[in-house]
Amino acid sequence: MHTEKFDSFFQGNARIYLNNAIELALEEDGPDLTSEGIFPSGHKLSAKIISKEDTLVVGLPLIPLIMDACADTEWSWSALANEGDFVPDRTVVATIEADASHLLKAERVILNFITHLSGIANLTKLYVDQLASSGTALLDTRKTLPCLRYPEKYAVIMGGGQNHRKDLTEILMLKDNHIDLAGNMTEAVKKLRATYFPCPPIEVECRNMAEVREAVACHADRIMLDNMDIPAIQEALKLIPESIETEVSGGVTLDTIRSIALASDSGPTYISVGRLTHSAPIADFSMLVSE
């Protein structure tokens, strides 16, 4: 199984947060009293994880992490698909052998991760496909489930998208509240650049042409066109020099994303879509357990 993207993504804090999420998921289930009451210690079971639809498969490298956190006796597993593969319905993507109480306790946690992450990757791919040959890249947002941001953003990458900032330090984003409370956009940008050295990239959220012009004058690193219709996007893009990145956000759907990307000859640098993480339907996988 190819895990290069998984290993490179989950380093440092990302790995810590992932391990914490796994521990919490197992802890909130409590002990599996049903399995412990039925199966004696050492009773081995085998399991197959099976796709129940045509789907990308994302999350297989979490299986050993979950099993290590759950099992205190010997267990084994095998990946029968590569991470990120597109598999047809009824494909066995992994097998596991472990003590019954450990395997059955881990079952739902494993499936919850795989179905959720694979679903995000599937939806992301649909959006990415709409942007083919447009020159515009797809971004996710911070509209993620609490404590699952890193796994969800990893799934976006596996679907062919790119990550917006993972936390509040990577990019300094001036939204309407910041600008209104600071007095104006120009003053807010000055304060940020005077406070941080080196200053992270500054992105400014713009709601109208006056704000776009001010953001250009401030030499923002990226300008977000927030909830603008296509005529407004076309007008705004004409005002922004190529040296400044552009991002369109707000209400983007599969039906509209390509039209937005092709709104002008150059198009926006990025289009961000919150529904990649906050509204992706799960992919259907099941676990078949046998003696």
Could you tell me where the beta strands, DSSP code E, fall in the chain? 44-51, 55-56, 76-79, 86-87, 92-99, 137-139, 172-174, 202-206, 222-226, 245-249, 270-272, 285-290
The pLDDT value given to residue 234: 95
Residue 100 has pLDDT above 80, yes or no: yes
The pLDDT value given to residue 265: 82
Tell me how far CA of residue 76 lies from CA of 27, 94, 127, 165, in angstroms.
Answer: 22, 11, 37, 36
Question: Which H/E stretch holds residue 211?
Answer: helix 209-217
As a whole number, mean pLDDT of residues 145-168 equals 97
Instruction: Tell me how far apart the alpha carbons of residues 253 and 273 are, in angstroms, rounded to a whole number.
Output: 8
As a whole number, mean pLDDT of residues 206-215 equals 96
Instruction: Tell me how far apart the alpha carbons of residues 34 and 140 are, in angstroms, rounded to a whole number.
Output: 40
As a whole number, mean pLDDT of residues 227-251 equals 96
The pLDDT value given to residue 141: 97
When the pLDDT of each residue in the chain is averaged and rounded to a whole number, the result is 96
> Three-class SS of residue 78?
strand
**pLDDT tens figures, 42-87:** 999 999 999 999 999 999 999 999 999 999 999 999 999 999 999 9
The pLDDT value given to residue 2: 84
pTM, two decimals, is: 0.96
Tell me how far CA of residue 102 lies from CA of 84, 256, 270, 278, in angstroms.
Answer: 26, 46, 44, 31
The pLDDT value given to residue 51: 98
Q: Please compute, for residue 148, the number of CA atoms within 13 A of its CA located in the half-sphere on the CB side.
A: 19
Report whether 192 contacts 220 (CB < 8 A): no
The pLDDT value given to residue 291: 87
As a whole number, mean pLDDT of residues 176-190 equals 91
Q: Which two tokens mark 99?
A: 């003590």
Percent of all residues in the chain with a pLDDT value above 70, rounded to a whole number: 100
- Better-predicted residue by pLDDT, 112 or 264: 112
Q: How confident is the model at residue 182 (pLDDT cuts 50, 70, 90)?
A: confident
> What is the DSSP secondary structure assignment for residue 162, as one 8-state letter?
B
